[in-house]
């Protein structure tokens, strides 16, 4: 299967997630903003969390019932890293310092599962930890391949803050299907088969840890099936 067909499958899946959410908009929905920190996990780093950069975004969420919610999100952020010869994940010449600092856009759709019953703007169900997983696209303007599929998943906690406002914190890991977010993979040369920079088959990851604030919209008459 070519990478173009893979992108098409991801796109169709994202649309399939989104259409039911908007079709059932009248039940319960949220719009919100997020802010947090990113870090890159790949050939050029040694310790997760080092060189954390800013990310922010916006989302729409459809609350299906007390346990499940469907979320669509767009984010903008920066990934960065700096590697030195003592970094165990790289093979560099003595005295070489390699770094990168690049922006990205992320579009994803995910399904959330609440461990406790939770309804937005309903103080009867104040808070809940939750987990989520989904599908996404990463647009990496300066990358060798700017359009990349991703698999986001993670966990978080959300809380009914005040009236129609909901606050939360979450941590997302994003699996990519490239080892070149950092341009850190080049195959061994013909003149020196042992001179390899980075590791093929060891795809890069990135994460976002942040907080969010959302507002429940289209609040209507309660439905017994939804309560």
Exposure class string for 3-12: b at 16+ Cβ within 10 A, else e: eeeeeeebee
| 82 within a domain of the structure (yes/no) | yes
Instruction: Report the CATH number that the domain containing residue 176 is assigned in CATH.
Output: 2.40.160.20
Burial class of 182 by CB neighbour count within 10 A (0 to 12, 13 to 18, 19+): buried
In a domain? residue 104: yes
pLDDT digits (tens, 9 = 90+) for 170-208: 999 999 988 777 765 554 444 444 444 445 557 889 999
51-84: per-residue pLDDT in tens? Answer: 789 999 999 999 988 999 999 999 999 998 877 6
pTM higher than 0.85, yes or no?
no
Sign of CA dihedral 38, 39, 42, 48: negative
Q: What is the pLDDT of residue 11?
A: 56
For the stretch 81-122, pLDDT in tens is 877 655 545 555 554 547 788 899 999 999 999 999 998 877
Task: Let me know if residue 34 belongs to a domain.
Answer: yes
> Residue 167, Cα to own-chain centre: how many angstroms?
18
Query: Is the torsion defined by CA of 129, 227, 167, 104 positive or negative?
Result: positive
In a domain, 223, yes or no: no
Judge whether 224 lies within some domain.
Answer: no
Taking the C-alpha atoms of residue 86 and residue 196, their distance in angstroms, rounded to an integer, is 15
Q: Which residue has the higher pLDDT, 86 or 161?
A: 161
Looking at the domain assignment, is residue 200 inside a domain?
A: yes
Taking only Cα atoms into account, the Rg of the chain, rounded to an integer number of angstroms, comes to 20
| Structural domain count, the chain | 1
Q: Is the pLDDT of residue 123 over 80?
A: no
pLDDT score of 24 more than 50: no
Within a domain: 193: yes
**What rounded mean pLDDT belongs to the chain?**
78
Asked, for residue 146, whether it belongs to a domain, the answer is yes
Contacts of 82 (CB under 8 A, 6+ apart): 44, 51, 97, 98, 99
Domain that holds residue 74: 3-217
Q: Cα separations (Å) of 32 from 29, 47, 62, 74, 167?
A: 10, 31, 12, 11, 9
Query: In the chain, which ranges are E strands?
Result: 29-41, 53-63, 68-83, 98-114, 127-139, 147-162, 165-176, 205-217
d(CA 109, CA 59): 10
């Amino acid at each position: 299967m070519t990478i173009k067909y893979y992108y098409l499958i991801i796109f169709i899946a994202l649309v399939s997630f989104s259409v039911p959410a908007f079709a059932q908009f009248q039940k319960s929905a949220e719009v919100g903003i997020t802010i947090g920190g990113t870090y890159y996990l790949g050939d050029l780093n040694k310790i997760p969390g080092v060189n954390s950069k800013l990310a922010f975004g916006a989302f729409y969420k459809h609350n299906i019932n007390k346990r499940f919610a469907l979320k669509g999100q767009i984010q903008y952020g920066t990934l960065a890293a700096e590697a030195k010869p003592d970094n165990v994940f790289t093979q560099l010449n003595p005295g070489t310092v390699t770094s990168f600092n690049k922006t990205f856009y992320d579009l994803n759709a995910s399904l959330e599962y609440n461990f406790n019953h939770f309804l937005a703007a309903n103080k009867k169900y104040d808070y809940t930890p939750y987990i989520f997983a989904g599908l996404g696209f990463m647009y990496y303007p300066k990358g060798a391949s700017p359009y990349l599929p991703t698999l986001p998943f993670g966990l978080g906690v959300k809380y009914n803050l005040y009236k129609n406002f909901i606050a939360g914190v979450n941590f997302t890991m994003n699996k990519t299907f490239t080892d070149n977010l950092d341009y850190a993979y080049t195959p061994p040369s013909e003149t020196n088969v042992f001179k390899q920079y980075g590791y093929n088959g060891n795809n890069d990851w990135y994460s976002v840890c942040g907080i969010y604030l959302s507002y429940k919209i289209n609040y209507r008459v309660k439905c017994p099936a939804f309560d």
